[in-house]
Amino acid sequence: MQRIVILGAVGVGKSTLARKLGEKLRLPVIHLDPLFYKPGWAPSERSSFQQRVSEAIKGERWITDGNFIGETAALRLARVDTII
């Protein structure tokens, strides 16, 4: 497990699981909410969000948590080896 995507409904513990798994496996954790939301919880434009996610997952080892299926599924799932 080198590239992990954690999906799930709001409030089910995706971020907590990502942090704990990241510590155990020594993988960097990429939280999608901070990449999507601007100050004041204003949403980003789709293209700029996709660009930030694309940059964030360039590495060979990572965990992402968050859904954003329509916006980033193709980017993340093309490189993932594990989905939770």
pTM above 0.75, yes or no: yes
Angle, CA of 6, 34 and 76, to the nearest 5°: 40
- When comparing pLDDT for 69 and 17, which is higher? 17
Average pLDDT over residues 59-74: 91
Domain count for the chain:
1
Helix (H, G, I), strand (E, B) or coil at 27: coil
Residue 70 has pLDDT above 90, yes or no: no
The two structure tokens encoding residue 77: 């799932």
Angle subtended by helix axes 46-56 and 69-77, to nearest 10: 30
Q: Which residue blocks in the chain are alpha helix, DSSP H?
A: 14-25, 32-36, 46-56, 69-77
Q: Residue 71's domain is classified under what CATH number? A: 3.40.50.300
DSSP state, 11? Answer: T
Domain carrying residue 48: 3-83
